[in-house]
């Protein structure tokens, strides 16, 4: 945060009765491209003012998600120039905007990926707000948490489990929520055999939920540290991404953004098995052979965002079973390095930026 003289009224700066305007440091996507080319830049901007129904949050930490990498590198088409990434945000409410009753100044709050839906379309009315055509997203359509301050509609903020410190609760806000939805979409039967392809921030949380619910876990991933973590968290077997698990799988989840793993995972399924694809972006999927990959009623389900109910259920479940969240902290000034380490597979668990 930086102090400055009073700004003109059209800057959007918020004054909060202090007699001065504030600026804040943010990382923004200047021009999407390979992370090796440093697509993020560290800038200063006015602190945003909370509008009606919104709260202003002083950011403590922000998790570093693979979706941030997709935004930075342009795998996801930019929705606005100079967007601030980050959607696993933990912070304190500084000021509630007009009409807010849900949060008060000083409350710890979480900001996640989904931040707006219309509430009126047939998907919203049916409980599938994640499919709303007018949905908006933190760190993609709106500025996110790679910043010292952020705003969020109060209706889309989360109360957080008190048992978790900031570093550990941040990854739950996307890695946890999306992994939870993927697990439910995989239709894993009670006591079933689950295959997990890729073992990063989301997979290591989701796998612990599955094991706590009685699943037999088989992890297939690259990277020795990821395999070691899988053994530590209760895997029955651990292998490389192209290996065949030792038993047929009832369900599988592909967390890695690698389309070539889809036929591999389908071929590992037992009769009637279900594969869930957890990523928002994936490379091209090779041609599938009907008999080898889909026959015997194997199914493929994609995962698109999440509902707020998913988020509430995941946070309540995490408060009960207390999954171990493996994090690697980075200072705020090293956000670009955190993304580079994530891209190279050097992060064991989830990376977290410490900001406030």
Residues 52 and 108 in one domain: yes
Identify the pLDDT of residue 21. Answer: 44
Query: Are 135 and 255 in a shared domain?
Result: no
330 and 255 together in one domain: no
As a whole number, mean pLDDT of residues 199-225 equals 96
Q: Are residues 294 and 331 in the same domain?
A: no
pLDDT score, position 356:
81
Shared domain check, 210 and 150: no
Six token digits for residue 282: 């994936």
Least confident among 15-24, 28-37, 293-302, 329-338 = 15-24
The residue-averaged pLDDT of 212-240 equals: 96
**345 and 229 within one domain:** no
Distance in angstroms (rounded) separating the CA atoms of residues 73 and 35: 6
Between CA 259 and CA 275 the distance in angstroms is 13
Residues 164 and 251 in one domain: no
DSSP string across 102-157: S--TT-EEEE-SEEE--S-SHHHHTT-GGG-TT-EEBTTTB--SSBSEEEEEGGGE
83: left (phi over 0), alpha (psi -120 to 50) or beta: beta
Mean pLDDT, rounded, for 159-166: 93
User: How big is the chain, counted in residues?
Assistant: 356
CA distance 198 to 221: 5
In a domain, 141, yes or no: yes
Residues 212 and 342 in one domain: no
Q: What is the mean pLDDT of the chain?
A: 93
CATH of the domain at 237: 3.40.50.720
Do 244 and 161 lie in one domain? The reply is no
Number of domains in the chain: 2
CATH number at residue 56: 3.90.180.10
321 assigned to some structural domain: no
Q: Is the pLDDT of residue 4 over 80?
A: no
Domain presence at residue 312? no
Asked if residue 203 and residue 111 are part of one domain, the reply reads no
Question: Is there a domain that residue 318 lies in?
Answer: no
Could you tell me the pLDDT band of residue 217, with boundaries at 50, 70 and 90?
very high
Whole-model pTM: value is: 0.91
Query: Would 316 be classed as within a structural domain?
Result: no
Measured CA to CA, the distance from residue 208 to residue 323 in angstroms comes to 6
Distances (CA, A) of 20 to 12, 16, 51, 340, 356: 13, 9, 19, 37, 20
262-274 mean pLDDT: 98
Q: Which residues pair with 62 in a beta bridge?
A: 89, 353
Contact 333, 146 (CB under 8 A): no
Q: Which of 302, 318, 343 is the last residue of a domain?
A: 302
**Confidence band of 15 (pLDDT split at 50, 70, 90):** very low
Domain contains 314: no
Residue 307 lies inside a defined structural domain of this protein: no
Place of tokens 């697509």: 39
Residue 148 included in any domain: yes
Residue 163 binned pLDDT confidence (cut-offs 50, 70, 90): confident
Per-residue model confidence (pLDDT) at position 86: 98
Strands (E), the chain: 2-4, 21-29, 40-46, 54-64, 89-96, 108-111, 114-116, 136-137, 149-153, 157-158, 193-197, 216-220, 237-239, 249-254, 269-277, 299-302, 327-331, 350-354
Are 246 and 260 contained in the same domain? yes
Q: Is residue 1 pLDDT above 90, yes or no?
A: no
Task: Please give the residue range of the domain that contains residue 345.
Answer: 2-171+326-354
Dihedral, 132, 318, 186, 302 alpha carbons, nearest 10: 30
Residue 16 contacts residue 2 (beta carbons within 8 Å): no
pLDDT of 70 higher than 50: yes
Tell me how far apart the alpha carbons of residues 226 and 347 are, in angstroms, rounded to a whole number: 9
Provide mean pLDDT across the span 333-356: 95
Rounded to the nearest 10°, the torsion over CA 312, 330, 278, 205 is -60
Say what the alpha-carbon torsion angle 312, 88, 64, 335 is, to the nearest 10 degrees.
Answer: -170
Q: Which residue has the higher pLDDT, 68 or 7?
A: 68
Do 103 and 226 share a structural domain? no
User: How crowded is residue 152: how many other Cβ atoms within 10 Å of its Cβ?
Assistant: 29
Secondary structure (3-state) at 185: helix
């Amino acid at each position: 945060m930086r102090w400055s003289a009073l700004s003109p009224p059209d800057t959007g700066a918020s004054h909060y009765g202090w007699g001065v305007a504030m600026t804040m440091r943010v990382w923004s996507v200047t021009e999407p491209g390979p992370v090796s080319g440093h697509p993020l830049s560290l800038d200063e901007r006015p602190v945003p003012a909370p509008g009606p129904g919104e709260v202003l949050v002083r950011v403590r930490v922000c998790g570093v998600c693979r979706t941030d990498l997709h935004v930075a590198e342009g795998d996801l088409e930019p929705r606005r120039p100079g967007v601030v990434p980050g959607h696993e945000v933990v912070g304190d409410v500084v000021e509630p905007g007009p009409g807010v009753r849900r949060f008060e100044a000083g409350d710890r709050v979480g900001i996640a990926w989904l931040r707006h839906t219309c509430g009126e379309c047939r998907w919203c009315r049916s409980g599938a707000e994640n499919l709303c055509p007018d949905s908006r997203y933190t760190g993609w359509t709106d500025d996110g948490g790679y910043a010292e301050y952020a705003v969020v509609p109060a209706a889309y903020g989360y109360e957080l489990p008190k048992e978790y410190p900031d570093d550990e609760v941040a990854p739950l806000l996307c890695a946890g929520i999306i992994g939870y939805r993927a697990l439910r979409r995989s239709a894993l039967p009670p006591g079933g055999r689950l295959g997990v392809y890729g073992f990063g921030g989301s997979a290591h949380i989701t796998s612990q939920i599955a094991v706590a619910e009685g699943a037999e876990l088989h992890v297939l991933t690259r990277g020795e540290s990821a395999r070691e973590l899988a053994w530590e968290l209760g895997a029955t077997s651990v292998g490389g991404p192209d290996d065949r698990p030792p038993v047929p799988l009832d369900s599988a989840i592909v967390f890695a953004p690698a389309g070539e793993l889809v036929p591999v995972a389908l071929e590992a399924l037992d009769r009637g098995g279900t594969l869930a694809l957890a990523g928002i972006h994936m490379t091209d999927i090779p041609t599938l052979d009907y008999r080898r990959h889909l026959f015997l009623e194997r199914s493929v389900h994609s995962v698109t965002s999440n509902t707020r109910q998913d988020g509430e259920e995941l946070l309540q479940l995490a408060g009960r079973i207390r999954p171990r969240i493996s994090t690697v902290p980075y200072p705020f000034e090293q956000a670009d390095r955190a993304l580079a380490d994530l891209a190279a597979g050097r992060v064991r668990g989830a990376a977290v930026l410490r900001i406030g």
